[in-house]
Amino acid sequence: MKKMKWAIISGDGLPTSGLLTIFRNVAEMAIKNNIITYEIPADLGFSWRPDKVNFFPHGNPESHYPTWMKVSSIHQYSLCNEDYGNDFTNIRSKIAKYDQLTHEEIINIQKDISLISEQYKKYFINWFEDNDIDWLFCLNMTLSDAVPVTQAIHNAAKKYWEKKKYGGVIFWDHDLFGSYAIYENAERLYPKNSQHTNSSTTR
């Protein structure tokens, strides 16, 4: 049986996180059982999380990773020197109060999102092709920080997997679309005493 080629994108902007730890455990089991190839390309979101000041935009050279994790970012593929730090921060704050925006503000923020998304789309298509990815795992990409990047993933995936015909993208979040939340007095709360995850798949 041919081994699958996995890749991972994390929206946390950090070298480690809860879901990333779970993924590492699963990946190491899959490698041990010869289900997937040893090398797993990874983008940990350093380039779109300016709030993670110790890692934005290229990560931290003192960080350590598993030997099977091949970490990269858009800056290794793009000639664009712009880090979009202020733009990501602005988009994040605008999305947090989206319902309060004027029509003009919505149009402007959509333009900002599309501009950045197009840069990341080109990057992801090249990244997918260079690494011949079968399955892509996207962790914590429903965060407001990642809106342009998540849009780019969808657009790049559509183009890439239309040709590949098999595989796809799995979005995996702690509380995807609020599906594991509990309600108390009409207020949405995260579950207590246990950690829940949810996933969705797109082709």
Q: How far is CA 48 from CA 73, 75, 81, 90, in A?
A: 10, 11, 14, 12
| pLDDT at residue 183, as a whole number | 62
Q: Evaluate if residue 64 carries a pLDDT over 90.
A: yes
- DSSP for residue 192: S
Reading the block at residue 170, the tokens are: 């799995």
Reading the block at residue 136, the tokens are: 């892509």
88-141 residue pLDDT tens = 999 999 998 988 999 999 999 999 999 999 999 999 999 999 999 999 999 999
Looking up tokens 């593929």 gives 77
179-195 residue pLDDT tens = 555 566 766 554 443 33
72-84 residue pLDDT tens = 999 988 776 678 9
Sequence-distant (6+) residues with CB within 8 A of 147 are 91, 95, 113
| Nearest CA-CA partner of 141 in 8, 35, 39 | 8
Do 156 and 119 contact (CB within 8 A), yes or no? no
Do 85 and 119 contact (CB within 8 A), yes or no? no
Domain ranges of the chain: 6-202
| pLDDT at residue 78, as a whole number | 75
Reading the block at residue 123, the tokens are: 């990057």
